[in-house]
Structure 1
Amino acid sequence: MTEWLVHRFIHDADQTDRPDVRGAHGTLASIVCIVCNILLCTTKGLVGLAAGSVSVVADAVNNLTDASSNIVSLIGFKLASRPADKGHPYGHGRIEYMAGVVVAFIIVAVGLDLAKASIQKIAHPEPTDFSPAVVVALLLSIGVKAWMARFNHALARRIDSVTLEATSQDSKNDVLATSAVLAAGVVGKIAGIDLDGLAGLAVGAFIMWSGFELVRDTLDPLLGQAPDPKLVSHIHDTIMSYPGVLGTHDLMVHDYGPGRKFASAHVEMAAEIDPIRSHEVLDSIEHYFEDEEDLPLVLHYDPIVTFDPEDHDLRHWVSDQVKTIDGRLTVHDVRTTCP
């Protein structure tokens, strides 16, 4: 069912970086999650109130909060899919990262509220009716949330979405949380002790911890995290594979949202080669990344003197001296001029 839905709405994986396509699939995921969470909240809320279980009611409230975070995601995808304009020449893709941060903070808030309610239940215990209806409702929730986690993860991989990945992680947390509530109820029923409050406290602490991790993961792109080393290596190796290229350096990758990366680099080529020919090679590299990788790349031409052995020796000497200061430093564009 999960794979059918993903493939039903994503016909061509090559188009998933387009803002309108990403927005359509983000909207699909958000609407599916909103409907599922509202149904789960209603079912568990009614059953939890009838049984007097704070952990089941808290779990239902968690689903309602999940629906709210799905609405945030829906708005985020809608805004992020807007085309570039004069004020935002690189588009609005970072709004999706911001939506992911909001979802992560909502998860932390839910965990905190659940922990507070559980502490109150521990301090002022009330009898809990762990009936078959409660068991059915919790099992239903576990099944639906497990499917939602898989569904959102599949879409997140296809469109490279941190927001959907956060939503998927939230669903996994819900599976663990509801399982803990169910386990506490079963053990309590068999042993004749009430573990409802303790189970709710443990679940709340776990949700808060996972929420803080999601905050960190979703903030990183907004704070300008380093590009994926695999992407850097791929760009470097591709540039070096072209004829006449002697080296490349100062590679910079800018992330303006999922599917909106831009890059620039310096490319060293022999100064003796006709500059027009070197420019043609650089143009072909740029066109390749634009057409095949959907990555706008701007290359700067660095002519390197290769026929003068003195220049070659000087460059190596300067490079060796610089590395004595810091092994991470490199030297480029060493030239000698006569007064």
Structure 2
Amino acid sequence: MQKLLVKLFIKDYQKIHDSKVRSRYGTLSGIVGIISNLILCSMKIILGILTASLSILADGINNLTDAGSSVITLIGFKLSSVPADEDHPFGHERIEYITGLIISFFILIIGFSLGKESITKLIHQDVTQNISIIVIIVMIISILIKLWQSIFYRKMAKAINSEALVASSKDSLNDCISTAAVIIGLILFKLTSWQPIDSILGIVVAIFITISGLKMVFETVNPLIGTKPSQDEIDAITKKILSHSGIIGIHDLVIHHYGNCTTFATVHAEVPSDEDIVTSHDIIDNIEREFRNELGIDLTIHMDPVDIKNPQTNELKEKILHIVKDISPDLSIHDFRVVYGETHTNLVFDVAMPIKFSCTKKELRELIISEIKKIDENYFAIIQIDQLYNRNEQ
């Protein structure tokens, strides 16, 4: 069903990295959510009034808030597709994350409201009346609709990698559990006339929904704060750059995501120092153009000339690397060069240090310098400690 709807209503549906196509996915998801939730809301509110069941009525109001969430999703995708402007040069795609955060807060409100209502019912022992097999069947049908809705959202989220639709999918699944609890409560009350059962199940479901909402808040906040890129993405970028002749190695790779379609990256690429600078620069330009055209990544490359043919420099580099690796296998070095003088020799290099490390940058620098002095008192180390953003630099 999801594939059919996508093919019918989304033009160029396979171009998922196009912001306009992503917006169409979001629009379709929002419209499907609004229509299906309004149908469910109408059914349950009518049933709740006819049966004098507060739990069914509350479930219907829950679906009404879901329709509101679908409206927010729809608006969020529309706003996130707005092109970059002077005040927002990186575009507006992160609005989609804010949409997911708003939906997460809706889920938290629903969880708290259901818990409050269930506790109130438990205290006052409200009685559910006029429960028939027709009511049970209609509620089961509503679960099936919500389950389909959850699967639909999940597939759409997977297609375009959308946190907002992931949140909507989990919200729909929570609704299935909530409605199932209402049905179980109605059936058990019908069979046993034990009044507290509906309230107890409601409290359990409220706790589940609240925990789920809290998890979703963290999941949607993380992209806004900024997270480490996936190792697959790091490996793919590294492999593609190193596939070009004239590139010896890379380091200091930093990736910034401003949504799913806008990515900026910077990296230092090592090139042979004896290579013509115009030739190396042309290679760098070609790589940057290739990333922009093929992957949609705005890549900026800093060129680092490296002397790979001087045996004395290479020998010193190996000694320094051995010192650094003895301190910790998680450390690495780059931009190594040697400046010879009449009275002493400067060893200039950078050390990449993980975010969580056993000592400070100052302590690490002093430790490396002390070990270098053991090799030769005339070696002066000039060390820049960099943050290690990914493991490919080792």
| TM-score past 0.5 threshold | yes
Q: Shorter-chain TM-score: what band? A: over 0.9
Q: For residues 202 and 64 of structure 1, what CA distance do their matches in structure 2 show?
A: 22
Q: Which residues of 2 match residues 95-174 of structure 1 at below 5 A?
A: 95-129=95-129, 130-174=131-175
Partner-residue secondary structure (3-state), 1:85: coil
Partner-residue secondary structure (3-state), 1:334: strand
Q: For residues 169 and 277 of structure 2, what CA distance do their matches in structure 1 show?
A: 52
Q: For residues 13 and 323 of structure 1, what CA distance do their matches in structure 2 show?
A: 49
Mean alpha-carbon deviation: is it higher for 113-122 or for 16-25?
Answer: 16-25
1:39 Cα deviation after fit: 1.4
TM-score, scaled to structure 2: 0.82
1:294 maps onto 2:300 in alignment: no
Q: Deviations over 1:73-124 (max 9, x none)?
A: 2221121111001111110111111111111011101110011001111111
Number of the residue aligned with 1:35: 35
Number of the residue aligned with 2:75: 75
Partner-residue secondary structure (3-state), 2:32: helix
Number of the residue aligned with 1:188: 189
Partner-residue secondary structure (3-state), 1:227: coil
Number of the residue aligned with 2:243: 241
Q: Which residues of 2 match residues 237-316 of structure 1 at below 5 A?
A: 237-316=239-318
Number of the residue aligned with 1:85: 85
1:317 maps onto 2:324 in alignment: no
Q: Deviations over 1:119-161 (max 9, x none)?
A: 1111111221332232122112111111111111121122221
Q: For residues 41 and 137 of structure 2, what CA distance do their matches in structure 1 show?
A: 14
Partner-residue secondary structure (3-state), 1:219: helix
Mean alpha-carbon deviation: is it higher for 233-242 or for 188-197?
Answer: 188-197
Structure with the bigger percentage of strand: 2
Partner-residue secondary structure (3-state), 2:86: coil
Structure with the bigger percentage of helix: 1
Q: For residues 73 and 42 of structure 2, what CA distance do their matches in structure 1 show?
A: 21
Q: For residues 200 and 44 of structure 1, what CA distance do their matches in structure 2 show?
A: 17
Number of the residue aligned with 1:215: 217
Structure 1: stretches of 5+ with no match in the other structure: none
Corresponding pairs, count: 339
1:295 Cα deviation after fit: 1.6
> Higher Cα Rg: structure 1 or 2?
2
Partner-residue secondary structure (3-state), 2:334: coil
TM-score, scaled to structure 1: 0.95
Which structure ranks higher in relative contact order (CA pairs < 8 Å, sequence separation ≥ 6)? 1
Moved over 6 A (4+): none
Number of the residue aligned with 1:328: 330
Q: For residues 9 and 291 of structure 1, what CA distance do their matches in structure 2 show?
A: 27
Q: For residues 176 and 149 of structure 2, what CA distance do their matches in structure 1 show?
A: 10
Contact kept? 2:12, 2:21, Cα under 8 Å? no
Q: CA RMSD in A?
A: 1.7
Partner-residue secondary structure (3-state), 1:84: coil
1:231 Cα deviation after fit: 0.6
Contact kept? 2:167, 2:216, Cα under 8 Å? yes
Contact kept? 1:48, 1:134, Cα under 8 Å? no
Q: For residues 190 and 19 of structure 2, what CA distance do their matches in structure 1 show?
A: 52
Mean alpha-carbon deviation: is it higher for 175-184 or for 220-229?
Answer: 175-184
Specify the code of the residue in structure 2 equivalent to 1:101: L
Specify the code of the residue in structure 2 equivalent to 1:104: S
1:251 Cα deviation after fit: 0.7
Mean alpha-carbon deviation: is it higher for 285-294 or for 170-179?
Answer: 285-294
Q: For residues 269 and 315 of structure 2, what CA distance do their matches in structure 1 show?
A: 21
Specify the code of the residue in structure 2 equivalent to 1:123: I
Number of the residue aligned with 2:387: none
Q: For residues 246 and 67 of structure 2, what CA distance do their matches in structure 1 show?
A: 56
* Closer/same/farther in 2, CA of residues 304 and 14 from structure 1, 3 Å limit: farther
Q: For residues 265 and 7 of structure 2, what CA distance do their matches in structure 1 show?
A: 31
Structure 2: stretches of 5+ with no match in the other structure: 342-394
* Closer/same/farther in 2, CA of residues 260 and 95 from structure 1, 3 Å limit: same
1:22 maps onto 2:37 in alignment: no
Q: For residues 9 and 335 of structure 1, what CA distance do their matches in structure 2 show?
A: 59
Contact kept? 2:10, 2:24, Cα under 8 Å? no
1:54 Cα deviation after fit: 2.6
1:14 Cα deviation after fit: 4.9
